[in-house]
Structure 1
Amino acid sequence: MSEQKARVRAILRQRKDAMIPEDRLKKSISITHHLMEIIRRGETVMVFTSKEKEVNTKPLIMALFRQQNPVVVPIIVKEDVSLRLSYLRDFSALVPSTFGVPEPIGSEIPAAAEDIGTIILPMLGFDRTGGRIGYGAGYYDRFLSKHGNLRKIGIAFACQEFENLPVDENDIRMDYIITEDGIVYPGGGVRDGDQRNRNT
C-alpha cells in the first residue's frame, strides 16, 4: 500500500505543480464561494494556512473574518507528530514555520478542539467516495482520530481527483469535498440533512 501511495502522490504533485499561479488564485476564490455556502454562521472553523502551491486559504479566512466566524489554525509539532491549536485574528500574526507553513508563532491564542465545529483540510488528492490522501506525515489523521466528531471538509483543485485512491483503515474519510467545480462529495450533506448545492 505504501509503495502504491507513493506513486499516486508523485502523480498528484505533478498535476498540482503544473498549475499557474493565476489559475490557483482564481480557483481558490471559487472554492471559497462554494465553501462559505455551507459554513454555519458563528461556528468556530479550523482552517489550514496554505503554502504556495496549495488551495490559497487567505480568501477563505478573510471571508470567515467578515462573517465573524472564529478561526482556529494548526501549529505543527514535529516532536510528537501532533497539531497545536491557536485562534487567528490577524494575518500579520502568521510567519513561515515548520515545512514553510505560515503559523502564528509568538502570537498564539490557545484554542481547544472541543470548541471547533468544522475543520477545513488540505488534500494532495481525493476521490468521489470521500477518500483523502495527504502529504504522508499523518498530522491530520492523528488529530482526527482523537476528534472524529468534527465536520470534516477537504478542499482541493479538480485536477487533484484520483479514481479509487489507495486508502486504508487508518485514512479518515471526509464529510464533504469541495473543488472549484462545487461540492463533489456531499457525504456530510446527506448525513446532516443539508442538501444545499449537492452536485450529482
Structure 2
Amino acid sequence: MSDTAGSDMADKDAARQAARAARRAFVAALDPMAHRLAFHALPSPIRALIADCATVALYCPVGDEAPALRLAKALLTEGKTLCLPHVVDRMGTMEFRQWAPGDELEQGSFGTLHPPRSAPLREPDAIFAPLVAFDARLMRLGQGGGYYDRAFARHEGAIRIGLGWSAQEIAHVPADPWDVPLHRVMTERSIFAPAQGEDLP
C-alpha cells in the first residue's frame, strides 16, 4: 500500500469515528416523538425523482442509522416494488431481494437482517443507502466494507439516495477515485441536491 493510500484510509477511518460519535449523540438527544415521526413521509422532490422507478431498494437499519423501512408504506402507495440488500459474502458482494412489510427476514452478517434466499432477486431502479456521513458534494462515507460502492457500480443506472440524520453532514468526505456521489441525500429535515448546473453520473 502506498503512503497516499494509507493516509486516505486513515482519513476515512478518522472521519467515520467522528461521524459515528456525532450520530450517536444526536439520536440519543433527539426527542422520542420527533424520532417516531421521522422518515415516514416521502417528500415531493424524492417522489418526483423516483416517479419512473418501478423497484426501490430500502435497507434494515443497524443501531442508530436512519430508519429506512419507515418509507415502505409511502413507497407501496406509489406503486413501487420493494427490495432489501442481501449480503452474499464478506468480499463486498450484495444482491437485492424482494420484500414487503410483514415478510420474513433472516439474520445476516454484521448484525443486519435480510430477505431469505427464496425471495425473488430484483434489479433496483433506485437505492436508498445508509451512510455514516455525507457532504455538500453528496459524497457518501459508508461503513468501509465497499458493499454499496459495488452495488452502485453494478446497478449504475439506479438513482442513489442517501438516508441519514442531519447531524451526519460534515465539511468534507475523503473520497477515493472510484467513489461516486449520490443523486440526493434525505435527512429528517432536508433534501440535499447537487449544486445547480452540476451533472451527476
TM-score range, shorter chain: 0.7 to 0.9
- Secondary structure in 1 aligned to 2:46? coil
**Unaligned 5+ runs, structure 1:** 193-200
Structure 2 contact 39–70 (Cα < 8 Å) conserved: no
Could you tell me how far apart the structure 2 residues matched to 1:101 and 1:50 are? 7
Q: What amino acid does structure 1 have at the position aligned with 2:21?
A: Q
Could you tell me how far apart the structure 2 residues matched to 1:41 and 1:69 are? 10
Could you tell me how far apart the structure 2 residues matched to 1:137 and 1:67 are? 32
Distance 1:129 1:42, change over 3 A: closer
Question: Cα deviation per residue 1:110-141 (whole Å; 9 max; x = unaligned)?
Answer: 22x2xx22111111000001111000000010
**Unaligned 5+ runs, structure 2:** 1-7
- Residues 20-29 or 81-90, more deviating: 20-29
Residue correspondence of structure 1 range 97-116 to structure 2 within 5 A: 97-105=108-116, 107-111=118-122, 113=123, 116=124
Aligned to 1:7: 14
Structure 1 contact 41–69 (Cα < 8 Å) conserved: no
Q: Name which of 115, 139, 142 aligns with 1:134.
A: 142
Question: Cα deviation per residue 1:27-49 (whole Å; 9 max; x = unaligned)?
Answer: 57444425465232762111122
Could you tell me how far apart the structure 1 residues matched to 2:145 and 2:100 are? 27
- Secondary structure in 2 aligned to 1:20? helix
Q: Over aligned residue pairs, what C-alpha RMSD do you find?
A: 2.6
- Secondary structure in 2 aligned to 1:170? coil
Could you tell me how far apart the structure 1 residues matched to 2:15 and 2:81 are? 35
TM-score computed with the length of structure 2 as normaliser:
0.82
Q: Aligned residues: percent identity?
A: 23
**Deviation of the 1:163 alpha carbon:** 0.3
**Deviation of the 1:144 alpha carbon:** 1.1
